[in-house]
Homo-oligomer: A and B are copies of this chain.
């Protein structure tokens, strides 16, 4: 829960009471296997789930069974703000890896958000950032070629992980198969494989197993048409600057 609290505090200053209220929220920790669903499309959710450890994706299926991945959830993300006010889930959330989540009863969460303005503000702030990431996702899928799409998703993931202290600038462990990467970028797994290979051949990245190393971070961002603004993360530099 610590990581979630940190995340919220980065978005709005919380009082000691606010912090306590969050830590005292009734909750149940659960361990989930890779592939497990937290919510399915059409569910009537009873909990607000926070991802403590591990990775998950948001996804929707078309009528023809094609899958589109909509977002990656990383530790500290609240998976379920939607479900606080929307009665029926419009998309599914599935674990990518074995994970630990905290389940908070929907009403308890709703209560704390409505009665504590600072927490309410942090939650709104957080959902707005999520929307911003989703907008960039549309641009990625809609208007960039395969090379840029893959490069972009790698950049995004790396920066988000780093902002939470979950990766260094050198590289990171990508918790997805190439098929999942394909469903995130609206490509076929075959094409994903080819693009990854060319990115590697061009010396932009190297791969061992699922691990991605950035051999030329600047060039990769260029290829990706990546600009971190939409993530609304305060970069390390800015954090340091603000502390002075």
Contact of A138 among B68, B82, B129 (CB under 8 A): B68
- Judged by a CB distance under 8 angstroms, whether A117 is at the interface is yes
Q: Which residues of B contact A67 (CB under 8 A)?
A: 143
B225–A135 touching, CB < 8 Å? no
Count copies of this chain in the complex: 2
- Judged by a CB distance under 8 angstroms, whether A163 is at the interface is no
Main secondary structure of the interface of A (DSSP, over half): helix
Q: Which residues of B contact A230 (CB under 8 A)?
A: 90
Chain B nearest CB, measured from A187 CB (Å): 9
Docked complex: A70-86 residues within 8 A CB-CB of B:
70, 81-82, 84-86
Chain B nearest CB, measured from A235 CB (Å): 13
Q: Which residues of B contact A85 (CB under 8 A)?
A: 121, 124-125, 128
Contact of A229 among B88, B117, B136 (CB under 8 A): B88
Closest 9 CB pairs of A and B: A142-B186, A63-B225, A141-B142, A66-B143, A68-B139, A85-B125, A90-B230, A68-B143, A68-B142
Q: How far is the CA of A143 from the CA of B62 in the complex (A)?
A: 7
B70–A138 touching, CB < 8 Å? yes
Q: Which residues of B contact A225 (CB under 8 A)?
A: 62-64
B142–A90 touching, CB < 8 Å? no
- Judged by a CB distance under 8 angstroms, whether A174 is at the interface is no
What are 23 A-B residue pairs whose CB atoms fall within 8 Å in the complex?
A60-B136, A60-B138, A62-B139, A62-B143, A62-B144, A63-B225, A67-B143, A68-B139, A68-B143, A70-B139, A84-B124, A90-B132, A90-B230, A114-B120, A115-B117, A124-B127, A127-B127, A127-B128, A130-B131, A131-B131, A134-B135, A134-B138, A141-B186
- Judged by a CB distance under 8 angstroms, whether A137 is at the interface is yes
- Judged by a CB distance under 8 angstroms, whether A58 is at the interface is yes
Q: Which residues of B contact A120 (CB under 8 A)?
A: 114, 120, 124
Docked complex: A161-194 residues within 8 A CB-CB of B:
186
Q: How far is the CA of A135 from the CA of B93 in the complex (A)?
A: 13
Mark each residue of chain A from 88 to 102: 1 if its CB lies under 8 Å from any CB of chain B, else 0: 101100000000000
A82–B131 touching, CB < 8 Å? yes
A114–B125 touching, CB < 8 Å? no
Contact of A139 among B60, B86, B125, B135 (CB under 8 A): B60
